[in-house]
Structure formats: structure tokens, C-alpha cells
């Protein structure tokens, strides 16, 4: 079999809404404390939508930054994929709204769910489009505003999440660079553990994000090393050869466990959960864009990206920085 066409990240960008919400502010609303939230999750603050901003506004802002960094005009985009579970509305797609906001030509645009694993799923699908020569330039955005789905009186969930978007531009690249391997998986029997549904005590009532925190925690700790190892095997590298682990930013204890499980030291792990909380599908591309913006990656660095979440769903990808 001939090797698939190499696909790399040509640009990245991110956006968060201006409204920053601290743990102390949350402690005025629910029975919690800055100390509890920091010690259990590593989160100090998160950003949330306000003043009429919507998920697609964040996505468009991140996408514009990614295209600018890639030195590409909107006219160069051959497909738009937005990974999101909190689009502005059930339809049209967030991807179509981004297309309209940026003036992207009438190319295929679609949303992809898969919650916090959405960006890794999107990365794989974008690469397949380019490898199949159906597209040269794919704009892939992870964007979520779970603040819209939270029960702000439920302390067990409302402290964990934040809103944001991260975007990457995928293009054919030099052989030996770009996406070297990926792994995806799902287990629908665990769907109950993290869902948007009416509360058990109000079956006809509004739908909120609900979570069995401990179950999700155990799942996350179990799945990350496995899916990472499968992606590393496909890429033909070992965990020792990873220069940067960019994990889904859900909880510092889950990130620590993933790094430990893979034998990757914490100084090779990019962490921003303290400032943004869990931004769902935005989390990985936001971290990637922020780290890239700080000039942390050098040519040839092996990046290991890993996501997990509702579904249950998971995925990992190995990307060699061009």
C-alpha cells in the first residue's frame, strides 16, 4: 500500500469570550470554594459567553486567527468542520455560520459532535479528506459554550466548564511531518455517565449537563494511555519520543494521571485548565494554538494529542511539527 499523503497543521488560533468567571464568584452562587475547586480540578477561572456572543462567534474568531497565521485567505478553504456540541442552534451548522462570517466559498461545511473528543475525530476526518484529494485546505475548529447547558445551581458541574474555540488549518505537508498516527474509539454503554437531559427529579423540565463525576474520572484515567499508545504505535514512535503532550484540559488530576500512565514528565505537558476550565471540543486546539503562539514547538517536535469525554468517546493523534 502506498503511504497516505502527509497532512500537517499550517496555522492555529484560539478565542475565548471576554467575560472571565473566577472560583470566588462561583462561591457566591453555589456552596463551593476556590480551595475546593483548585484542589480537586486545578481550575482557577474560566471564560463564559455574555453580551450576545455565540459559539459561532468564538469559532469564527479562532478560525480567522488560524487562517492569518497560515497566511491563507478565506477563499483558499475547501471544507469547514466544526467540532461542537453547543452550536448556536440545532441548525444551521456552526460550520455554515463560520463560513458565512468569514466569506468562505460554497464548499462542504459540517459539524461533528463527540464532545471533548470532537477535535481528534475532526482531525482524522480532515486528514482523510486531504489524503483522498477531495480538499487541499480544511479549516477545523473545536468550539463549545457549555455554559449554555449548565445548571448553574449544580455545584458538581457548573465549576468545571468554560467556553472557547480553537482552530487549525490542515494542508498537505512535507513527508515525515504532520499527522503520523491516530486512534479513535467509543463506548455507547457509558452514555449515561455524561449527558444533557432533564434532571431525574424534574423529568419534563429543562435539559442540563449531568455527570457521574467519579465514573468519568475513572474512565478518563483508564482510556488515555490506551488510546495514546495505539496512536503512538501507528506513528511508529514511543512515549519517550514525545516532545509535547497536549491533553484534553478537564482536570489537572486527570492530566497528571495520563502523563504518569505514559511515563511523560509534566514539563512536557501543556496545561491551561487553570485559566479556561474544560472547554469541551475547544480544549485541545485551544491549548495547541496557545502553546504554538508562545513558540513552544520547534520543527520536528512530536506532539501527542488526546481527548476523551461524553459518549463515551475518545481519541489520540500524533503530529510532527513542521
Ligand X SMILES: CC(C)(COP(=O)(O)OP(=O)(O)OC[C@H]1O[C@@H](n2cnc3c(N)ncnc32)[C@H](O)[C@@H]1OP(=O)(O)O)[C@@H](O)C(=O)NCCC(=O)NCCS
Shortest gap between Cβ of 31 and ligand X (angstroms)? Answer: 6
Catalytic residue among 23, 93, 96, 278: 278
Shortest gap between Cβ of 287 and ligand X (angstroms)? Answer: 14
Compute the distance between CA of residue 222 and CA of residue 210 in angstroms, rounded to an integer. Answer: 21
Is residue 258 within 8 A of residue 306, CB to CB? The reply is yes
Catalytic residue among 109, 116, 158, 173: 116
**Which residue lies nearer to ligand X by CB, 39 or 241?**
39
Q: What are phi and psi of 157, to 5 degrees?
A: -125, -35
Shortest gap between Cβ of 298 and ligand X (angstroms)? Answer: 30
**Which residue lies nearer to ligand X by CB, 235 or 250?**
250
Compute the distance between CA of residue 80 and CA of residue 226 in angstroms, rounded to an integer. Answer: 30
Q: How far is CA 164 from CA 1, 14, 49, 213, 287, in A?
A: 40, 8, 9, 22, 11
Q: What are phi and psi of 233, to 5 degrees?
A: -60, -45
Shortest gap between Cβ of 228 and ligand X (angstroms)? Answer: 16
**Does an H or E element contain 45, and which?**
strand 45-47
**Which residue lies nearer to ligand X by CB, 43 or 98?**
43
Shortest gap between Cβ of 234 and ligand X (angstroms)? Answer: 24
**Which residue lies nearer to ligand X by CB, 37 or 81?**
37
For this structure, is 248 an active site residue?
yes
**Which residue lies nearer to ligand X by CB, 61 or 227?**
227
For this structure, is 228 an active site residue?
no
Q: How far is CA 313 from CA 79, 94, 118, 300, in A?
A: 24, 21, 9, 29
Shortest gap between Cβ of 224 and ligand X (angstroms)? Answer: 11
Number of helices and strands (H, E) in the chain?
A: 10, 13
Catalytic residue among 23, 173, 183, 248: 248
Residue 246: which residues within 8 A CB-CB, separation 6 or more?
270, 284, 287, 288, 291, 303, 304, 305, 306
**Which residue lies nearer to ligand X by CB, 32 or 99?**
32
**Does an H or E element contain 308, and which?**
strand 302-309
For this structure, is 272 an active site residue?
no
Residues in the chain: 322
**Residues near ligand X, by CB under 6 A:** 32, 36-37, 40-41, 116, 155-156, 159, 211, 213-214, 216-217, 250-251, 254, 278, 309
Compute the distance between CA of residue 220 and CA of residue 187 in angstroms, rounded to an integer. Answer: 12
Q: Which residues are catalytic?
A: 116, 248, 278
Amino acid at each position: 500500500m502506498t503511504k497516505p499523503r502527509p497532512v500537517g497543521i499550517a496555522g492555529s488560533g484560539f478565542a475565548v469570550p471576554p467575560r472571565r468567571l473566577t472560583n470566588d464568584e462561583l462561591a457566591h452562587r453555589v456552596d463551593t470554594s476556590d480551595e475546593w475547586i483548585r484542589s480537586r480540578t486545578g481550575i482557577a477561572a474560566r471564560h463564559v459567553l455574555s453580551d450576545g456572543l455565540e459559539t459561532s462567534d468564538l469559532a469564527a474568531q479562532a478560525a480567522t486567527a488560524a487562517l492569518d497565521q497560515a497566511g491563507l485567505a478565506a477563499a483558499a478553504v475547501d471544507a469547514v468542520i466544526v467540532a461542537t456540541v453547543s452550536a448556536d442552534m440545532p441548525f444551521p451548522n456552526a460550520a455554515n455560520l463560520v463560513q458565512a462570517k468569514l466569506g468562505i466559498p460554497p464548499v462542504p461545511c459540517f459539524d461533528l459532535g463527540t464532545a471533548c473528543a470532537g477535535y481528534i475525530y475532526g482531525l482524522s476526518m480532515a486528514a482523510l479528506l486531504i489524503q483522498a484529494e477531495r480538499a487541499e485546505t480544511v479549516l477545523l475548529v473545536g468550539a463549545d459554550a457549555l455554559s449554555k447547558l449548565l445548571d448553574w445551581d449544580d455545584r458538581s458541574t457548573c465549576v468545571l466548564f468554560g467556553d472557547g474555540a480553537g482552530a487549525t488549518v490542515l494542508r498537505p505537508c512535507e513527508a515525515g511531518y504532520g499527522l503520523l498516527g491516530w486512534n479513535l474509539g467509543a463506548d455507547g454503554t457509558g452514555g449515561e455517565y455524561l449527558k444533557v437531559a432533564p434532571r431525574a427529579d424534574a423529568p419534563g423540565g429543562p435539559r442540563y449537563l449531568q455527570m457521574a463525576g467519579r465514573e468519568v474520572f475513572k474512565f478518563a484515567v483508564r482510556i488515555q494511555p490506551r488510546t495514546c499508545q495505539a496512536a503512538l504505535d501507528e506513528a511508529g514512535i514511543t512515549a519517550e519520543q514525545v516532545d509535547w503532550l497536549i491533553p484534553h484540559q478537564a482536570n489537572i488530576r486527570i492530566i497528571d494521571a495520563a502523563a504518569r500512565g505514559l511515563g511523560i514528565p509534566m514539563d512536557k505537558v501543556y496545561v491551561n485548565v487553570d485559566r479556561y476550565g474544560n472547554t469541551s471540543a475547544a480544549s485541545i486546539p485551544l491549548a495547541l494554538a496557545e502553546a504554538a503562539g508562545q513558540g513552544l514547538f520547534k520543527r520536528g517536535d512530536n506532539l501527542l494529542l488526546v481527548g476523551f469525554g461524553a459518549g463515551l468517546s475518545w481519541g489520540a493523534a500524533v503530529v510532527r511539527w513542521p
